[in-house]
Amino acid sequence: MKDEYDFSQSVKNPHIKKLKKQVTIRLEEEVVEYFKGLAEDTDISYQSLINLYLQDCVKAQRKPSLEWVRQA
């Protein structure tokens, strides 16, 4: 390993726009537990599984069902 490295000729990461953006989102506990269960079965983190599912929704242009159930 060198004591010093020369980065004067380096270039910015061309994939910077493809990096993930950190957000805070509130999910119901049953949703998180569902994806954590899938994570144990697949050895993929539950955060990655949620991201993969949302990516699939985007690609398929899937829209959520906005039918609300009235609770008594």
User: How far apart are alpha carbons 25 and 46 in whole angstroms?
Assistant: 14
User: How far apart are alpha carbons 69 and 34 in whole angstroms?
Assistant: 21
Entry pTM: 0.67
Query: So where are the chain's domains?
Result: 25-60
User: How far apart are alpha carbons 48 and 14 in whole angstroms?
Assistant: 23
Q: What is the pLDDT of residues 18-48, one digit of tens each?
A: 788 889 999 999 999 999 999 999 999 999 9
